Structure 1
């Protein structure tokens, strides 16, 4: 029998009745909280959290009793918030073997409603080690800083060779030229004075009887 797309979706557990995250992650020895939302018609129904790869064979781990009172079972707890049409499941002291497939569910007459959630527990030590390895390699920013420093040095050398050195040479030439000019002036004046004195002496000898 052919079913319309809407009826086909309604035939699956949880369609338009309960929604939750597709996956969550938590650190080993830490905790993770999963929030599942449901339609208002299921406010007074029991909510549960079960584990298993398949819907019809999952094992219920903790469930509510139709109220908003928190229920606990070992490292698990569940609390229903009927005013916001949602319930939360918290898993504490996570272990590696907690990684797996879980289900948020609503208990009802006939087939229960549920949605699948993938829980992943990661090792803090491995994540820290991988992070330290990443930090030991040069980052993009540090490479950019090195390149910027090299460019700055090259620019400094270019300015030194083509601008600063020629400018210093020109300045030194000007100083030497000025020094030579200042030395020439007294010498010329001395020569002029000497020649004047000689001319004067010769003139006096010519005039004398």
Structure 2
């Protein structure tokens, strides 16, 4: 667990202190979330970070940067359930269920980076966990008309349709992944990405 606090001059200090959480009696400081998330270029992705009861009214934030000491807070809540948005990123705290959700929209490949879910504490070290975000490039975006939503979608790896090997296909769900190919189906469009 990484924490941060301010020194006497008001500058932010960043500390790696895994035992700090164990020495504060009567409180729980646990935040959990995914280690990695991915989305398609020009699509969106969501990250849900859960926290223990007792932290509902604390401000939650989403921060970018591989090093905690250089992490830049992109968006932060007000301590309420009001959604906050900055550019293509929004954050909303569901205090009843002790989870805050970060949404990144209109993804770009340069959005791939290390991010942090965090809780701000006045006069004490902030708490955070690391999340790796990967944005996959789009190989194709295919549109189809109404009435075709329930039909299977396929991506083929050859130029000749008669001898084409299907790399990935949907089976009634919105998403499908096989080997290096990935399909995401939404709003009468399915998008194919080829992953490394």
Short-chain TM bin? 0.5 to 0.7
Q: Could you tell me how far apart the structure 1 residues matched to 2:29 and 2:120 are?
A: 15
Q: Could you tell me how far apart the structure 1 residues matched to 2:47 and 2:106 are?
A: 15
Superposition RMSD in Å:
2.5
Offset at residue 114 of structure 1 (A)? 0.4
Gapped regions of structure 1 (runs ≥ 5) = 1-7, 140-209
Task: Work out whether residues 103 and 114 of structure 1, in 8 Å CA contact, stay in contact via their aligned partners in 2.
Answer: yes
2:164 aligned to 136, 145, 149, which one?
Answer: 136
CA deviations 1:43-97 (Å, max 9, x no partner) are 1100000000011220000000000000000000000011000100000000000
Q: 1:96 to 1:44 in 2, by over 3 A?
A: same
* Other structure's SS at 1:40 match: coil
What is the aligned partner in structure 1 of residue 19 from structure 2?
Answer: 10
Task: Work out whether residues 10 and 16 of structure 1, in 8 Å CA contact, stay in contact via their aligned partners in 2.
Answer: no
Asked if residue 24 in structure 1 is aligned to residue 32 in structure 2, the reply is no
Write out aligned runs for 1:95-174 (5 A): 95-108=108-121, 109-125=123-139, 131-133=155-157, 136-137=164-165
Q: Which runs of 4+ in 1 moved over 6 A?
A: none
Write out aligned runs for 1:161-200 (5 A): none
Q: How many residues align?
A: 128
Q: Could you tell me how far apart the structure 2 residues matched to 1:52 and 1:116 are?
A: 10
Q: Could you tell me how far apart the structure 2 residues matched to 1:20 and 1:115 are?
A: 7
Q: Which of the pair is proportionally richer in strand?
A: 2
Offset at residue 137 of structure 1 (A)? 3.6
Q: 1:98 to 1:23 in 2, by over 3 A?
A: same
Gapped regions of structure 2 (runs ≥ 5) = 1-16, 22-27, 143-154, 168-196
Q: Which of the pair is proportionally richer in helix?
A: 1
Q: Could you tell me how far apart the structure 2 residues matched to 1:120 and 1:126 are?
A: 18
CA deviations 1:1-51 (Å, max 9, x no partner) are xxxxxxx74347xx9511110000100000000000001121110000000
Q: 1:138 to 1:88 in 2, by over 3 A?
A: closer
Q: Could you tell me how far apart the structure 1 residues matched to 2:18 and 2:141 are?
A: 39
TM-score normalised to structure 2 length: 0.59
Structure 1 or 2, whichever has the larger Rg, is 1
TM-score normalised to structure 1 length: 0.56
